[in-house]
Structure 1
């Protein structure tokens, strides 16, 4: 099965890419798959859509059901998830340091071991569309085994102590060109690069005011910038020489259109389905052309 991705309207930095995802005969989208070999970042389109935590306003965040739903819907080219370490060193898919917000339990994630993790159940938010059952948060190995090589993945190493373990999981599956490893710390990103991984660095709007992103271009594959940043700061990131610059966390078509008009070549969004339904509109922005 192949998703048809029609990219139109790329004529200038202010007239950017429109994403249309349809299945055969114009029907519902089919999963993004490219042949039998592992899909790598080389297959990504000029403008990339990322489902943040699987699309956290459309599916239960960081859940296997949510990630699989986002994959099957075909409204994103990349699936993002967060990782933390259990007490025994097992990397699991989870955002917060505690269980309180998204599960039926409380306490520290790092206080549990793999056996105890089997009893954790996610608590789907009532505001999510559709019906979702409680389920155990997956391990990183389970997500890599289910989706690795079928779609590009992006994982954030919330606990840098686990970077070597994450690298081993990715290398053992032949996915070093298929998985971005994300951090807010340039030194962690540098370590990821030295481990042979695709290094991603995210920055807040406040950090971007004083950042000099050109310093990172020798070891950063993807710069992940805050959509709330000033136009000038976004343009400086785009012109840094880092190969890819994607904006987070995009929630509205207008935010997406601004990011693309300023030269970003991807958006990280909680609502990939919503953005796919709204064509890109050209915006005039103060930053001028992109790269």
Structure 2
């Protein structure tokens, strides 16, 4: 069995300790998307209300806590082609530095330090922000990952990283653009497509069932739009960004079979009595 560690304010220390936990499938290969069942919880940016978002310490803490079956992070590309973990196009909100991410090279990126939000529970230290390579090396295969390719030009580089580690069925590659999702599918990757509530008003998700492995929908969408997504034939339909048990139970009743949350610990502590739609695999 997998042993999970209960953390009480020690999240920042985990960045310094090597991971020794082994997932259920580790003996026969990396943990894959086929291991996901029931109601799937995804820690959005690691669980941005509980840990520093898109940081190595935050992702590692989310993994060790065991309250989510999937870890989510965002990627952007630097001017020298290095792919790094960052949501915003600028450094201003989450680091002690400012300016556009894409003007940095790898050497400059290594000097950037995360700025933990004061409202986060626990104690967190400033630390370097990771590259996508570093996250895949640290967590790839130990837990299912979903990464958003904020820069579609990075898709070739991300595909090479994922293939080199044998993680094609262990990592969802996410985009807001159906054309990028199709390209990821045609490259042999496991594709994820996210849609906003306004986009969902006119979306016809059944058109994407051939090439989308995971549809990531806005929980604020209308009931009819969520039902249409759940009945699209896409095997996994997860709602974002769900941060309360009430929001979770609504999307599950409407047919979603997973949620993407900034607060996976809160949701795990409040079990749902709604039966999830079973994934078609």
Superposed pair shares fold, TM > 0.5 = yes
What SS does the corresponding residue of 2:241 show, helix, strand or coil? strand
Matching residue of 1:241 = 233
Pair 1:74-2:66 in alignment: yes
1:238-270 per-position Cα deviation (integer Å, ceiling 9, x unaligned): 000011100000010000011111111100000
Query: 1:31·1:71 contact (CA, 8 Å) conserved in 2?
Result: no
Aligned position for 2:23 = 33
Identify unmatched segments of 5+ residues in structure 2.
8-19
Give 1:221's aligned residue: 213
1:8 matched residue in structure 2: none
2:195 maps to what in 1?
203
State the partner residue of 2:157: 165
Q: What residue is the counterpart of 2:118 in the other structure?
A: 126
* Secondary structure, counterpart of 1:224 in structure 2: strand
1:16 maps to what in 2? none
Tell me how far 1:46 sits from its aligned partner: 2.0
CA distance in 2, matches of 1:46, 1:253: 16
Task: Please tell me whether the aligned partners of residues 262 and 290 of structure 1 are also in contact (alpha carbons under 8 angstroms).
Answer: no
Moved >3 Å (runs of 4+): 27-32
Alignment correspondent of 1:85 = 77
| 3-state SS in 2 of match to 1:268 | strand
Does 2:175 correspond to 1:183? yes
How far did 1:290 drift?
9.3
Match of 2:102 in 1: 110
TM-score, length-scaled by structure 1 = 0.87
Matched positions, count: 264
CA–CA separation in structure 1 for the residues paired with 2:127 and 2:208: 39
CA distance in 1, matches of 2:226, 2:23: 32
Counterparts in 2 of 1:49 and 1:290: CA distance versus 1, 3 Å: closer
- Are the equivalent residues in 1 in contact too, given 2:75–2:149 (CA < 8 A)? yes
For residues 31 and 282 of structure 1, the distance between their equivalents in structure 2, rounded to whole angstroms, comes to 31
| 2:70/2:145 contact within 8 Å kept | yes
SS in 2 for 1:250: coil
Q: CA deviation at 1:178?
A: 0.1
CA distance in 2, matches of 1:169, 1:290: 31
Counterpart of 1:2 in structure 2 is: 2
**Counterpart contact for 2:238–2:260, Cα < 8 Å:** yes
1:32, distance to aligned residue in structure 2 (A): 7.1
Pick one of 28, 42, 62 that aligns with 2:54: 62
Alignment of 1:262-277 (within 5 A): 262-277=254-269
Corresponding residue SS for 2:248? helix
TM-score, structure 2 normalization: 0.90
